Structure 1
Amino acid sequence: MKIRPPVLLRRSLLAMCVQAALLPHGAAQQGAPDSQIEVVTVTAQKRKEDPAKVAMSISAISGNQLQSQHVNDITDLTRVVPNISFTAATGNGGAGPGTSNIEIRGISSGAGAATVGIYLGDVSLTVGNVYTMGAVEPKFFDIDRVEVLRGPQATLYGASSMGGTIKFVPNEPDLRDREFNTYAETSALRGGGINYSASAVANLPLVANELALRVGVQSQRAGGFIDQVDGNGAVMAKDINRVDDEEVRVALKWQPTAALTVTPSVYYQKVDAKDISAFNIELPRYQAQKQVREPSKDTLQTATVLVNWELGWGDLTSSTSYFKRKFDRTQNGSAYNSYSLSTFLTSTEDGGTAPPELIDAIAGLPSAVYLNNRVRQVSQELRLASRPYDQAVSAWTWLAGLYTSNQHTNIDENDPIFGVNDTFARFGFSSSDPALLPDARPGAFPNDNAFMGIFHYHERQHSVFGEANYYFTPALHATVGARYLKGTSTLDQQNGLYLAGAGNTGSARLSSTAFMPKYALTWEVDPAHTVYGTVAKGFRLGGSNVFVPPTTCGDDLAANGLDEGPATYAPDSLWNYELGSKSRFLNNRLSVNASVFYVKWKNIQQGVYLPTCAYTYNANAGNAVSKGIEIDIKAKPLPGLTLSAAGGYVNAELSNDEGVRNGVIGAVRGAQVQGVPKYNAALSAQYNFVVAGDIGAFVAGGIQWVGPSKGSLNPEQTDYERPSYHTADFSGGAAFGRYKLSVFVKNAFDDDTIIQHPQVASIVQGYRVAPRSIGMSLAAKF
């Protein structure tokens, strides 16, 4: 696998906006702001519960809050939810939406399987860090809530939920009320383009209390702020990093009896990024000089049928789902494909046949990397749960289930070097001449293509899982859970053409089994105060490596003590130890949730970069320890005034030198795990008040901090040290009748810290958060 240019941080930033959208419909008209903190119910344990009663660290944000605060994607979420971060998968280029991995509690690995589970409703969207892709990123559209579950969730959510799980829970069709909601927003970026968002959702009861349809559509644009320039500094294209996206969701709810509910739904999402958000640091601000533009299109389709049957003594749930992802990308390969080819030419200065002018001409040719990715998965989960705890019925509650999934991932890569054959001919040579290019064969560059790869990954999982709770008293109960998993992964690959060396056609297969237990003790000191302790194991599957050609990578492999790249890499696992408390004071006008954790991570899957030939493979590289805290405080000291503070600190470090012995430069004991900020924190305040009659108004403000991190384990890389940064956001508005209007400013002080600065060949690139934007929004409900 070839290494791609490093991670980028995308354009979204969090703003505190239209608090009117958080109020129950009609609250502004009544002139009596709610004096209690909103409680968002969660399904973290596969049943609806108050999060204050669940023995894990949870952040739950309602759909109204997401919309009013302009939280548009996962990267926005990482700035306000404690101990979440994101970084690029090894080799994927970090080229915008769909290319990043999400990490929780410092469990960060840019290679191998994912470390955080991603769910849309009951559909698992978790995909591995396979060659060119990152996590699936559902847009926050028609969402009831987002639940961030910190710590291993293997018992109920399976492999890869080792750092935690993020659940996007959509709104369900309402069997009773007809409703039509619209939302529109527009803003202007300082020095850039225009942002906009428009959506409409209709809820239509078709048969009263029995059948309802919910349909929604959304279109959005994130204006760009990077300009493409030529070698003389002339602007060729403005705002090239614009991103457009579209979403459609259709759900049907059928309740033929009070005990049986059937909910089929489909979701479609297309994210069209016109280019990446990298600029050249040595050029004037936010200019990029490149030979090849780097667009991408990431399309997601899901279909699920959820059946809930209340049996009286328990609940039976069946979730049958299918998802498909089509992700096509272009990367600028000029910096490494053309340059790599030029290094293979035998120079006349060294007794060869290639004149220096030809070598320079080949090195300067434009090259693209065309990546066509396809993922499809079918999964089935069947679970049976007891009724909620009732002291008069039983001291036990329980849940048991079966899960199976079948996932196929196909990747096609083609790397043309445009004009390569004509360039050789212009200097009187043939690109198939082995005297000029070692090991060249006739037709070495068909249609100027220098590399071709076809890769088919196939992963199967089968699991049985369950949890049981025993109540010693109504206030004290213990939880024991476990999941037994069997998984197989195979890779069939074929690659060839000149930059593939001798090429390869082969297969590799790896089988894994795991037993993942969980133990917890929960004590409800009183109805408003809960303390808990949890010990849980996390696990992710091993996998197979893309072929590394020994003809071009022999020296690199030999430096790592290898004759050839390893065919597979093994699973890794961790144990998480956690203590926490959840308290509500003053009749739920003050809430304080806090947790501390200690994680021991063993046999980490890590990418090994081969610097000379620009390939990478995955290996198991040592152990790590991650420890830290999370805290979330909300207060309503006065009716209408809400104060919030949330933050987390994490220290994730390697605990031995095994990684450096396996060829991972800088992977020594005490090295900070890459991509993990030391801390993040957010403060916000909002005040709702009545202007006159039925007109309610609000003002709001917030500030977010993200701490420093390491962009690499290698201290010699330009992106090794990533600085801390902060943003500030303000808003104000009013609600009148059916309408809610707001004005806002995001990144109000236009923090332009260069938060990443990776080097691609001789070019040092920069990334920043989106510039200041000023805008307005209008919501209406009919």
Structure 2
Amino acid sequence: MDIRRKLIATAVLTAFSAPAWAQQPQPSDEIEVVKVTAQKRKEDPAKVAMSISAVTGAQLQSEHVRDITDLTRVVPNISFTAASGNGGAGPGTSNVEIRGISSTAGAATVGIYLGDTPVTVGNVYTMGNIEPRFFDIDRVEVLRGPQATLYGASSMGGTIKFVPNEPDLKEREFTTYTEGSNTRGGSANYAANVVANFPLIPEELALRIGVQAQQTGGFINQVDGNGKVIASNINKINDQEFRAALKWRPTRSLTVTPSVYYQRIDAKDIGAFNLDLPLYQAQKQVREPSIDKLLAPSVTVNWDLGEFDLTSATSYFQRKFDRTQNGSAYNSYSLSTFLTSTEDGGKAPPELIAAVAGLPSAVYLNNQVRQVAQEFRLASHPYDEKVSPWTWLAGTYFSRQHTNIIENDPIFGVTDTFKQYGFDIADPDLLPDAKPGQFPNDNSFAGAFHYREKQASIFGELNYYFSPTVHATVGARYLRANTTLEQRNGNYLAGAGNNSSAETSSKAFTPKYALTWEVNPTNTVYTSVAKGFRLGGANIYVPPTTCGPDLEKNGITAGPPAYSPDSLWSYELGSKSRFLNNRVSVNADVFYVKWKNIQQGVYLPTCAYTYNANAGDATTRGFEFDIKAKPLPGLTLSASGGYVKAELSNDIGIDNGVVGAVAGAQIQGVPKYNAAVNATYNFSAWERPSFVMAGMQWVGASKGSLDPTQTDHDRPAYHTTDFSAGMTFGSYAFTAFVKNAFDTDTIIQHPQVASIVQGYRLAPRSIGVSLATKF
């Protein structure tokens, strides 16, 4: 056996030997500085001319932040809302917004990155953003403001980067984390993960591998028409994650890092309940489960070529998202309204009409997204006044994304129901325009939609240092894109059916300008101007037979065939300061955004269809702040918050059939403010490192719809409170915690699906314990 094989065998066999984590280091008196890669190179965020929040993996774990919705409550001016027509339906169906750049339609407004892998998907009526779980994460970076120069077209509001832990070439490590809690009035929550790091060849080759399993307990019961419980805690969610990464450094100048991430989220039902029933009860004929699977392999190469660095990021991701919606309230009801009643001289008796209206119906949605992306970057070394006043970065990006949506809407038993009353379902005198074969296997609608998107762009940034403390940045990206939509649909509720294809092309030039002044080593002032851009696209077909009343209400006779690109300009001024030997840090900024030709989704509640339209222009303005302090040894205080006023600035949207799109209307899904405070005290108890922590989060009022007649138009403000305490025994850290300690039960969303008004609330109070180990 050669020496390398011996080293590998020794590393694997000794990975579970004596603990290497003898004791926790003493807490520093200084505020921790979390380096970020916002500008595609690792650097101090205080020197970057943009508003950034960086949350470490340790902070995510200590504050029990488990998903993006939790993150939106602790990071300023980030929010989430349901994609058009989804009504906040559950995991994978919401969109994320930053600084009021909120849209439930068209391309995404926030770029999502998993390491160097872009996993941004469009806002379609069947799904929302991919939501990576916080597993083996080094940090999450939230970059506010347009990031089009370095991150492309869909980062017009900002970018969220999930940065995983890298394999360590020096130290072996084995960590575990387990957590258990119980939801008030519901079922149990648990989480468990194991992560191991093996230096297979010291200083040259290392493997990091981990697995995780979690369950989020449910608290909603399904009931029948008499209020009898059919199933309990139906909205629980199970998820599993796997990640493996290999780091190979064959020379000091070359590093190759292949990795793979897999995630499976199994939601047993959505988190909605009927507002006309006792709290947290859902009366439905069809359950609404979903399974959302994400596979994301990638290879990143970093090569120091002496005068500059070369980075290649090759990535692929595949998302399979299968879910069921309860279509009883609109498929069955819509069909019943088409029947010709005997009371009006038709053939359908009232008993048949009532029977059809009461039939169960499902909407089966099978979504698949696949993307291949390649980015090459060349970057100068960091600024050195002895070498050059210039630094630069240049790159090129290519991507191909395919999205397939298959939809089937069966009305269970509809053919037999007609037969029971002595009728043929294909009788056109009974059901207008009915033809044989329009209800195969009771399926009332069948659709297939295939989106293809190709992007190619070149980008770069150039920095000139007038002095070591003052520098200007000029950046730009030129993008060309082509999008196509092929669709075919049929069966009775599709009306005459539709088989068509449409193609759109886009190009954009998105510049960025910034000026940074390091007033002193601990105080930086900056200003920036940047442009953001989104692609336009084609709309799915909206059948006028099914959706006629909704379309007429919007002042149109048919859904528009396409929607146009939109863009914005953002203006920002900010400062980043540290005081008292880095015991206090204060970051603050103000911004103003002019958004042109805003894309918005128009949901048709009666038939449950959605089309995209341009709703005119908008402006958003506001501020953010983030304050951290260590006033006493062991005590860390933090406060962060943001305010945003996001409004339409003209009435153009009305002409495009967007009800409520008038000047002064608040953009949907944007809380007016959010804020969070946290206090953590580290101390020694019985000679054991210990801590206590308390945090509160506030989220302001928002609008769930532009249409003031919708039940979800006004969404209330709410707040939550969390507590935790823990103690460390050598390699074991125990924690007890309470989430939503005062059991805030505000109904934060209340959309209407046909005649049913639904409610969504925060998860009730949960109390639990956790154990973390590190060897």
Q: How high is the TM-score relative to the length of structure 2?
A: 0.96
Partner of 1:108, secondary structure, is coil
Aligned pairs for 1:643-722 (under 5 A) are 643-693=637-687, 695-722=688-715
Query: Unmatched 5+ residue regions in structure 1?
Result: 1-23
Is it true that 1:439 corresponds to 2:433 in the alignment? yes
Task: Tell me, yes or no, if the aligned pair for 2:125 and 2:610 is still in contact at 8 Å.
Answer: no
Q: Which whole-Å CA distance do the structure 2 matches of 1:612 and 1:297 have between them?
A: 26
1:764 Cα offset (Å): 1.5
1:663 Cα offset (Å): 1.1
Aligned with residue 115 of structure 1, among 86, 93, 109: 109
1:288 Cα offset (Å): 0.7
Q: Which whole-Å CA distance do the structure 1 matches of 2:362 and 2:550 have between them?
A: 25
Task: Tell me, yes or no, if the aligned pair for 1:304 and 1:322 is still in contact at 8 Å.
Answer: yes
1:555 Cα offset (Å): 6.0
Q: Are the structure 2 counterparts of residues 561 and 723 from structure 1 closer, same or farther at C-alpha, using a change threshold of 3 Å?
A: closer
Alignment-mate amino acid for residue 295 of structure 2: Q
Aligned with residue 761 of structure 2, among 762, 768, 773: 768
Aligned with residue 727 of structure 2, among 718, 734, 745: 734
Q: Are the structure 2 counterparts of residues 703 and 346 from structure 1 closer, same or farther at C-alpha, using a change threshold of 3 Å?
A: same
Cα-to-partner distance string for 1:458-479 (whole Å, 9 max, x where unaligned)? 0000000000000000000000
Aligned with residue 543 of structure 1, among 517, 537, 548: 537
Q: Which whole-Å CA distance do the structure 2 matches of 1:312 and 1:206 have between them?
A: 28
Q: Which whole-Å CA distance do the structure 1 matches of 2:750 and 2:112 have between them?
A: 28
Q: Which whole-Å CA distance do the structure 1 matches of 2:765 and 2:453 have between them?
A: 44
Cα-to-partner distance string for 1:484-539 (whole Å, 9 max, x where unaligned)? 00001000111000000000111000000000000000000001000000000000
1:608 Cα offset (Å): 2.8
Query: Unmatched 5+ residue regions in structure 2?
Result: 1-19
Task: Tell me, yes or no, if the aligned pair for 1:752 and 1:771 is still in contact at 8 Å.
Answer: yes
Q: Which whole-Å CA distance do the structure 2 matches of 1:271 and 1:552 have between them?
A: 33
Alignment-mate amino acid for residue 221 of structure 1: Q
Aligned with residue 743 of structure 2, among 737, 750, 771: 750
User: Match of 2:625?
Assistant: 631
Aligned with residue 586 of structure 1, among 580, 594, 603: 580
Q: Which whole-Å CA distance do the structure 1 matches of 2:754 and 2:548 have between them?
A: 21
Aligned pairs for 1:606-625 (under 5 A) are 606-610=600-604, 613-625=607-619
1:617 Cα offset (Å): 1.5
Aligned with residue 402 of structure 1, among 396, 400, 404: 396
Aligned with residue 135 of structure 1, among 129, 133, 139: 129
Aligned pairs for 1:475-490 (under 5 A) are 475-490=469-484
Aligned pairs for 1:305-320 (under 5 A) are 305-320=299-314
1:647 Cα offset (Å): 0.3
Aligned pairs for 1:362-373 (under 5 A) are 362-373=356-367
Q: Which whole-Å CA distance do the structure 1 matches of 2:294 and 2:611 have between them?
A: 28
1:568 Cα offset (Å): 1.6
Alignment-mate amino acid for residue 305 of structure 2: L
Task: Tell me, yes or no, if the aligned pair for 2:111 and 2:120 is still in contact at 8 Å.
Answer: yes
Is it true that 1:300 corresponds to 2:301 in the alignment? no
Partner of 2:335, secondary structure, is helix
User: Match of 1:103?
Assistant: 97
Cα-to-partner distance string for 1:265-311 (whole Å, 9 max, x where unaligned)? 00000000000011111211211111000000000000100000001
Aligned with residue 465 of structure 2, among 453, 461, 471: 471
1:720 Cα offset (Å): 1.1
Q: Which whole-Å CA distance do the structure 1 matches of 2:87 and 2:504 have between them?
A: 26
Task: Tell me, yes or no, if the aligned pair for 1:314 and 1:384 is still in contact at 8 Å.
Answer: yes
Alignment-mate amino acid for residue 280 of structure 1: N
Q: Which whole-Å CA distance do the structure 1 matches of 2:179 and 2:606 have between them?
A: 49
Q: Which whole-Å CA distance do the structure 2 matches of 1:45 and 1:306 have between them?
A: 16
User: Match of 1:723?
Assistant: 716
Aligned pairs for 1:9-158 (under 5 A) are 28=24, 32-158=26-152
Is it true that 1:325 corresponds to 2:319 in the alignment? yes
Q: Which whole-Å CA distance do the structure 2 matches of 1:499 and 1:436 have between them?
A: 15
Alignment-mate amino acid for residue 313 of structure 1: E
Partner of 2:747, secondary structure, is coil
Is it true that 1:218 corresponds to 2:181 in the alignment? no
Aligned pairs for 1:406-555 (under 5 A) are 406-553=400-547
Aligned-pair identity in percent equals: 75
Alignment-mate amino acid for residue 109 of structure 2: T
1:556 Cα offset (Å): 5.2
Partner of 2:748, secondary structure, is coil
Q: Which whole-Å CA distance do the structure 2 matches of 1:435 and 1:50 have between them?
A: 73
Q: Which whole-Å CA distance do the structure 1 matches of 2:703 and 2:552 have between them?
A: 28
Alignment-mate amino acid for residue 694 of structure 2: G
User: Match of 1:258?
Assistant: 252
User: Match of 2:571?
Assistant: 577
Task: Tell me, yes or no, if the aligned pair for 1:175 and 1:253 is still in contact at 8 Å.
Answer: yes
Task: Tell me, yes or no, if the aligned pair for 1:408 and 1:457 is still in contact at 8 Å.
Answer: yes
Alignment-mate amino acid for residue 100 of structure 1: S
Q: Are the structure 2 counterparts of residues 553 and 698 from structure 1 closer, same or farther at C-alpha, using a change threshold of 3 Å?
A: closer
Task: Tell me, yes or no, if the aligned pair for 1:626 and 1:652 is still in contact at 8 Å.
Answer: yes
Aligned with residue 177 of structure 1, among 143, 147, 171: 171
Matched residues, number: 756
1:68 Cα offset (Å): 1.2
Alignment-mate amino acid for residue 179 of structure 1: E
Q: Are the structure 2 counterparts of residues 391 and 192 from structure 1 closer, same or farther at C-alpha, using a change threshold of 3 Å?
A: same
Q: Which whole-Å CA distance do the structure 2 matches of 1:485 and 1:395 have between them?
A: 29
Q: Are the structure 2 counterparts of residues 119 and 553 from structure 1 closer, same or farther at C-alpha, using a change threshold of 3 Å?
A: same
Partner of 1:432, secondary structure, is coil
Greater mean alpha carbon deviation, residues 758-767 or residues 697-706: 758-767
More RCO (CA 8 Å, sep 6+): 1
Q: How high is the TM-score relative to the length of structure 1?
A: 0.95
Q: Which whole-Å CA distance do the structure 2 matches of 1:611 and 1:373 have between them?
A: 22
Cα-to-partner distance string for 1:349-372 (whole Å, 9 max, x where unaligned)? 111110111001000000000000
Q: Which whole-Å CA distance do the structure 1 matches of 2:59 and 2:667 have between them?
A: 32
Task: Tell me, yes or no, if the aligned pair for 1:454 and 1:494 is still in contact at 8 Å.
Answer: yes
User: Match of 1:162?
Assistant: 156
Partner of 2:706, secondary structure, is coil
Task: Tell me, yes or no, if the aligned pair for 1:333 and 1:367 is still in contact at 8 Å.
Answer: yes
1:614 Cα offset (Å): 4.1
Alignment-mate amino acid for residue 273 of structure 2: F
User: Match of 2:5?
Assistant: none
Q: Which whole-Å CA distance do the structure 1 matches of 2:604 and 2:285 have between them?
A: 25
Cα-to-partner distance string for 1:205-263 (whole Å, 9 max, x where unaligned)? 11111001100000000000001111111111110000000000010000000000000
Task: Tell me, yes or no, if the aligned pair for 1:123 and 1:304 is still in contact at 8 Å.
Answer: yes
Q: Which whole-Å CA distance do the structure 2 matches of 1:692 and 1:286 have between them?
A: 44
Q: Which whole-Å CA distance do the structure 2 matches of 1:564 and 1:674 have between them?
A: 24
Cα-to-partner distance string for 1:752-778 (whole Å, 9 max, x where unaligned)? 111111122222211110111110000
Partner of 1:480, secondary structure, is strand
Alignment-mate amino acid for residue 716 of structure 1: T
Q: Which whole-Å CA distance do the structure 1 matches of 2:123 and 2:686 have between them?
A: 55
Aligned with residue 233 of structure 2, among 239, 243, 257: 239
Alignment-mate amino acid for residue 512 of structure 2: K
Task: Tell me, yes or no, if the aligned pair for 1:33 and 1:689 is still in contact at 8 Å.
Answer: no
Q: Are the structure 2 counterparts of residues 285 and 611 from structure 1 closer, same or farther at C-alpha, using a change threshold of 3 Å?
A: closer
Q: Are the structure 2 counterparts of residues 317 and 731 from structure 1 closer, same or farther at C-alpha, using a change threshold of 3 Å?
A: same
